[in-house]
Every structure is written in structure tokens, then in C-alpha cells.
A and B are shown apart, each in its own frame.
Chain A
Amino acid sequence: MKYMLIMRVTDEAIEASKDIPFEQIIEDMGKYNEAMMKAGVLLAGEGLSDADEGFVVDFSSETPLVTDGPYGETKELFNGFWILEVASKEEAAEWAKRAPLGPGTKLEVRRVTGVEDFPQDNEWIQKEEGWRDELEGRKA
């Protein structure tokens, strides 16, 4: 099964991380990624840039509103993810526990849905699969 580890970080955690040398953070994260690579479970992973480079689309009003922020009530922002292929929920938890993260940071762990999670006879599910094919074809 596939799991997504979503890193969520608070302002305090970002502040606290400024005391740690950047090289150290890179090294710790590199070792963590390498461990998952070497265990054959890491499928993908990306980091996200700081929130001030992002923006928000709010669907609260009749027409979606695009703003630079604020990010609403939540102080916890996603700033990176990993996708793992593991044998169990517990294995996903074990890997998550090993992430080199400090106080103020949380990992949200979610199972990634597969084809089996959707009704295959649905026309739109079928269309989406077709689009994925097209995208893949373009990359090829």
C-alpha cells in the first residue's frame, strides 16, 4: 500500500530551525531519504517553498477568491511530502517516526488511494485514467 507522509510545520518550528545549521538539516534529511531509498520503500518526495511564495484560493464566496493569504485560522502549513510503498499502516508509522523533525512539526500520514478505491464503471473515473495516459504519452 502507498502512504503519503505530509510534513506540517508551525511558525515556531520554522523559527526554531533557524538555530540549526542549514548543512545539518540537509544532512539529516538526506540520511533519512537515503535510508528509505535503501529500504526500497521511497517512491517520491518533494519539498514546498515558503508560504510567502504561495497563494490561497478561497471558495467561501460565490466566486473563488485568489489572495496571497492569510492562511485562515490554521498555523500549520504543508511544506513537503514523501510517498512510500510499505506493507502495512504500522510500517508507514515506523518510517514517519524516523523523520528528523523537531517540536512544532507534525507528519500527517495518509493512505494514497488506488484504482480499487473508485467505481471503475464511472465515466469520469475512466476519463481521468485516459487523461493520465495522455500526460504520460506527452512525457514519453
Chain B
Amino acid sequence: MARTPTERGPDRSESVRRSVAAVWRIESARIVATLTRTVGDFGRAEDLAQEALADALAQWPETGVPANPGAWLTTVAKRKAIDGWRRQERYDARLAAIAHDLGTEAADSDDVPWDPDRIDDDVLRLVFVSCHPVLSREARVALTLKVVGGLSSDEIARAFLVPTSTVQQRIVRAKKTLAAAKVPFVVPERAEFGERLAAVLGVLYLVFNEGHSASAGDDWMRPELSREALRLARVLAELVPREPEVHGLVALMELTAARFPARLDANGDPVLLADQDRRRWDRGAITRGRTALTRADALGRGRGAYALQAAIAECHAVAASVGDTDWERIVLLYEALGRLAPSPVVELNRAAAVSMAVGPAAALEIVDSIVADGRLAGYRFLPATRAELLTRLGRTAEARVEFAAAARLTANERERRLLLDRVAAMSPPDDGRDPAL
């Protein structure tokens, strides 16, 4: 019987618990996918898999971890399905089919009891069900992490800084919603595929960013959340390798994650891109990100929004310093991104790149048009960016007003302090009236 090295340690049950968690992480998506195909009900399949997991936690400390733990969990879950149907006295065709299934599996239980190609397809269906548009965004995120990523409700709750009961409620509700809407366990039709895939990518990117912009609470779990999103994106890239945006998203995540080691200072405070110690960037992640971008390009269908953002991140990743960065190229990439996915935030980022490539005056024109547009009112980076540009243009009195405005808009205490320091560093006008305050 296979054993993990730590099983000889004093606290064997804890070590088995951790091994069960590891097996679950590796196998859960395949187990739930297989069960959903067999029992025909996604919510029921997830419950059965969880019950089998509880059995494993009870039994494996005594019996040891079986040689093929995934097959063990699947078999136990299927038996539970049969027991449930027997209790309901529903000896129908489904019961016969699953019982037959179990019979054939028992014969070659040492072997992998599933067809890998079919499993891939099942896992892809699972991803699409978890990210179905009938669910709210929160529900999609919770369900994807739970069912596809194999995270526990506790882990998800910790990552999103919400109570475990909230996560559990979201998941229960999500399963009921899927059942009520009679969502089938299928990969969407070709016509709908692109749209649904975009929704799936959106969920993964949302999870990644939640971990990436850790600003509050126990942030120890949050880099893990980004890594989990990256892992799931890699899984998806293997499931649908001919979709360029999947590789674009992997590239964007890798290139962003590459900066993680330099993103926080010794006090745990965020360090801006311009101030980051680039020697601390993860070279391996940069290489993987660039490889993923090459894979996206190789499909010959042009870059989508994720690939374009990845390309921007690549420009930063390959530059030795802020001064060495190819800002002209970044401006062009932002222009392309702005056409593909127009947003005032992209415009603001383009303005920042323009200020580096051309100068503050050209950038200020863009920022002023965003201000006039009004859609970013209340967004603190708008006055903050405007303030920086005005400072560089020597228009300090106006810059002062903008810094003060940004300080009023931020919810982050440290950021407010920094902005107010900038206000204080610029002397108020001579007439005694201080427009900033």
C-alpha cells in the first residue's frame, strides 16, 4: 500500500487529513464530473462526492491512503448513489446502469477506471456548469473554486474574507438555481461557446485579481488564491488548447504573478510598479507567460483583450528599468485594448503610458477628456493621475487640489497619508485662500 513519507510521524491522523486534502485537490473535478455524468444531477453529484470524502477522512487514518484514491472516492460515491435510490425504491434503468458500471470497475480497479478523453470533456462541462450565466458572479466564483478547484468552503471563505456559512449558502443556492433552471451538463453549442468561455475566463480572472489586490485581512491566503486561479487557467488551456484567449489569460496571469515577490515591502505595504525591485521578479513565471503568449499568437487569430494586457505586462517584464521600458509600444497596445474592450480605466492607463512615451501635456489631454466624460467620477486614481501630470507640468496649485481630492476618495489609510503628504509638500497660494482644503 502506498504511503506518504510523513505517515510515520507522530500525528498520523493530521498527516492523513492533509493527504486526503491533496488527493481531493488533484481528483475532485474528475470525480464530480464522472459522477454528474452517471447520476445526471450536478448538485447531487457534488453532495455524493463530499460524502465520499467524509468517509475517506474517517477511514484512511486507519486503513492508510489507497493506491488509487480517486477511484476509491468515485466508487464509494457511486455506491452511495445506489443506496439513495434503493431507499427511494427507484430501481430504474439508471440504477441498473450504475450498478453495472460498478461491477466492471471492480474488475480492473487497479487500473484507471476512466477514459481520459471523456474525463477531459466532463471536466470542461463541469467548468461551464459552474460558470453558468444563470448564476450570480459570487455564486460562479464559489462554485468554480469548490467544484473545479477542490477548495473547501472554509478556504474560499478565508480567501474572500466572508464567513464560511455565507460561502456554504452561496453554494447551496447555486446548486438549487442550476437545478431550477434545468441547466444541462453539456458543453455549450458552437454559437454560444465563445460567450460562455468568456464568462469562464472572467470568473478565473476575477479570482486571480481578488488574490492579487490583497489590501485587507489575512493576506496569507490571497496569493494562494491567485495561484489557484492560475492553475485553473492552465487546466482550461489544456482543455481548450485552440482558444487563443485562454492562453492570453494564462500569459497575463503568469506575467502579473511574476511581480508578486516584489509587490510588497518589508512592512507588507504595496510597492508600485515603478518602485519595484525588478531583480525579485520571478524569471520562471515570466518565461512561462511569454511562452503562453506565443501559444496564443501561434493560433493566428490575433490577440484578444487578455493577450493584449499580457503583452503590456510583457513589455514591463523584459525592461531592465522604468526608463528602459518600450512605452511607445505600450501606448499602441493600450490603443488596441481600448478598441477591443473600451473602458475609461484603460484610457487612464493609456494616459499614464502616453505621459512616459510623449510627455505630461499629451497625457493631460486624455485625462481631461476622461474627466469630461464623467464615467470615472469618484475613482481616486483619476485625480491622482491628473495631480501627477500637473506636478510634472509645474502647475502645482492645481496639482495640490487634485491630490487633496484623491485623498478624500481613498478608503485606504496609508494611501490617504501619502496623498496628504503630497498636498503638504506643496505650498498653498499667497493670497491665503487654500483651494485644496
Interface residues of A (CB under 8 A from B): 31, 34, 37-41, 43-44, 85-91, 93-95, 97, 109, 114-116, 120, 126, 129-130, 132-133, 135-137, 139-140
Contacts and interface: CB of A to CB of B under 8 A. Distances in A.
B261 A114 contact: yes
Given A40-B230, A93-B19, A94-B23, A136 B280 contact: no
B432 interface: no
B224 interface: yes
Contacts of A41: 231
Contacts of B279: 126, 129-130, 132-133
**Which label, helix, strand, loop or mixed, suits the secondary structure of the A interface?**
helix
Given A94-B19, A97-B4, 4 more contacts: A38-B238, A38-B239, A86-B22, A87-B224
B280 A129 contact: yes
B320 A93 contact: no
17 contacts: A34-B116, A37-B234, A38-B239, A39-B231, A41-B231, A43-B284, A86-B22, A87-B227, A90-B18, A91-B26, A93-B5, A93-B6, A94-B19, A109-B5, A120-B280, A135-B283, A136-B318
Nearest to B279: A129
B336 interface: no
Contacts of B25: 87, 91
Interchain residue pairs A-B with the least CB separation, the first 4: A129-B279, A40-B234, A40-B231, A90-B22
A37 B284 CA distance: 16
A88 B18 contact: yes
B21 interface: yes
A43 B235 contact: no
A99 to B, nearest CB: 11
A130 to B, nearest CB: 6
A133 B278 contact: yes
B315 to A, nearest CB: 11
B135 interface: no
Interface residues of B, number: 39
Nearest to A41: B231
A86 B26 CA distance: 10
B232 interface: yes
Contacts of B26: 39, 91, 94-95
Contacts of B234: 37, 40
B2 interface: yes
Nearest to A132: B283
B233 interface: yes
Interface string B102-132: 0000000000000010001000000000000
B137 interface: no
Nearest to B20: A90
B93 to A, nearest CB: 32
B112 to A, nearest CB: 9
B318 A137 contact: yes
Contact of A38 (B120, B280, B286, B320): B120
Nearest to A128: B279
B380 interface: no
Nearest to A120: B280
Nearest to A38: B238
Nearest to A112: B284
Nearest to B224: A87
A134 B214 CA distance: 31
Given A93-B4, A114-B261, A88 B21 contact: yes
Contact of A136 (B2, B239, B287): B287
Nearest to A134: B320
A90 B231 contact: no
Nearest to B319: A137
Contacts of B6: 89-90, 93
B283 A137 contact: no
A90 B21 contact: yes
B288 interface: yes
Contacts of A87: 22, 25, 224, 227-228
Given A88-B22, A94-B19, A133-B279, A40 B238 contact: yes
Nearest to B3: A97
B22 A93 contact: yes
Given A40-B238, A87-B25, A93-B5, A136 B19 contact: no
A90 B4 contact: yes
A110 to B, nearest CB: 12
A115 B261 contact: yes
